Every structure is written in structure tokens, then in C-alpha cells.
């Protein structure tokens, strides 16, 4: 869970056609913003080690340092990941949102969170995710799951790719919420 009073570590997994994708030798860059025209609250790069490719280079460990998190106000932050190996022709690798929650410890005057889902927007009972190659979708989830108007994702084995669009599923292998598109590409949906 990203809190604006501590460093935020996370992992990136690279997949293409439902297979691990090796990014050895690529320069990657990821920035986080929450308003148009604003300077990035944090920028991570392979060149400075804040995106640390692992061996094999099909995944990376990343960290937003505490100093950057302290400047990121509570709310929804938007990010994208680019391959900037060729600075003249950057390639998109993905995009999404990061909900940042108000930290309490070491905060002299914290804004205490409300006891609801703390995501931006007016519909506070929804989560917005961006699926690979698709427009933004909205998932409505009730805190306790069914019954009611919410959704529940029971763990299942990886489904076959849909004929068109994409499917959201809870992977029985690792318990992660994921999306699979019609090409068989799978992406993890971060919930924190």
C-alpha cells in the first residue's frame, strides 16, 4: 500500500504473448503525476537503479524513495512506463494508476483518511484499471463481495484468451488480480 510517509517498493513483470519478455539492455523510465501540467512527483529509471532489472531481466524491482513519497499528496497518481533506449523514439510499455494514501506516523498534521475506499473521482466504490490495448474500464466492487452490487473474483486457473476485448480474473497460481486480452497478453492489476 502506497503511503506518503514512507518509501514504496514494488515489482514490474514483463510479458508478451503470455510469455516472460526479456528487457535486457533496455533503458526504462516511469513517471508519476496527478495533475495536468505538473512536474512528476517521482520518476524512476534503470539508469539510476530505481528500476533494477533482475536476472533474468523479465522482471524488475522498483522503489519510490521516501523523499519523493513525502511530496505526493493523497489521491490517485497516474503513471506510464517507457522504453527510452532510443530517446528519439520512446516505446510505451504500460500505464496505470497508483492510489496514494495519507500516512500518519511522522506526519505533523496529517489529514486523517475517511473510512471509505480512498480513490480519486466522485464514485468512491469503484476502481479504475487500464487494460493492455484497451480503453479504461471501471470495476464496481463491494467491500464484502456478493450479495449486493459488487463483484467477487474466486481464484481460477489462467483462462483462455477471449475472442475480443479482455477478461479479468484472480490467478489461482499467485492470488493476484490480472487481466488477459484477446492476444493472450497478461498484466497484473495492482490493488494498492
User: Which residues are paired to 81 by β-bridges?
Assistant: 30, 94
Q: 184 is written with which cell numbers?
A: 493472450
pTM of the model: 0.56
Domains in the chain and their CATH numbers? Answer: 1-114 (2.60.40.1930), 125-192 (no CATH)
Contact between 183 and 133 (Cβ < 8 Å) = yes
The DSSP-derived string for 79-100 is: EEEEE-SSTTS-EEEEEEEEEE
What DSSP line would sit under 118-151, residue for residue?
--SSS-TTEEEEE-TTS-EEEEE--TT-SSSS--
Place of cell 495519507: 102
Kindly report, residue by residue over 25-39, the tens digit of the pLDDT. Answer: 999 999 999 988 888
pLDDT tens for 80-123 read: 999 999 999 999 988 999 999 888 887 666 666 554 444 444 44
pLDDT score, position 148: 44
Q: What is the pLDDT of residue 147?
A: 43
Amino acid at each position: 500500500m502506497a503511503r506518503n510517509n514512507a518509501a514504496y517498493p514494488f515489482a514490474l513483470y514483463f510479458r508478451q504473448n503470455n510469455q516472460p519478455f526479456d528487457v535486457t539492455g533496455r533503458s526504462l523510465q516511469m513517471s508519476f503525476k496527478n495533475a495536468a501540467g505538473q512536474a512528476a512527483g517521482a520518476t524512476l529509471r534503470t539508469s539510476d537503479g530505481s528500476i533494477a532489472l533482475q536476472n533474468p531481466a523479465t522482471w524488475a524491482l522498483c522503489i519510490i524513495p521516501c523523499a519523493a513519497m513525502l511530496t505526493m499528496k493523497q489521491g490517485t497518481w497516474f503513471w506510464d512506463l517507457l522504453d527510452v533506449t532510443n530517446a528519439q523514439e520512446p516505446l510505451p510499455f504500460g500505464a496505470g494508476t497508483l492510489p496514494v494514501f495519507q500516512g500518519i506516523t511522522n506526519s505533523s498534521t496529517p489529514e486523517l483518511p475517511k473510512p471509505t475506499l480512498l480513490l480519486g473521482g466522485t464514485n468512491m466504490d469503484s476502481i479504475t484499471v487500464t487494460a493492455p490495448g484497451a480503453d479504461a474500464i471501471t470495476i464496481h466492487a463491494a467491500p464484502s463481495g456478493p450479495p449486493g452490487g459488487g463483484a467477487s473474483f474466486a481464484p481460477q486457473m489462467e483462462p483462455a484468451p477471449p475472442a475480443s476485448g479482455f477478461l479479468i480474473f484472480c490467478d489461482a497460481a499467485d492470488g493476484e488480480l490480472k487481466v488477459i486480452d484477446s492476444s493472450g497478453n497478461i498484466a497484473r492489476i495492482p490493488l494498492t
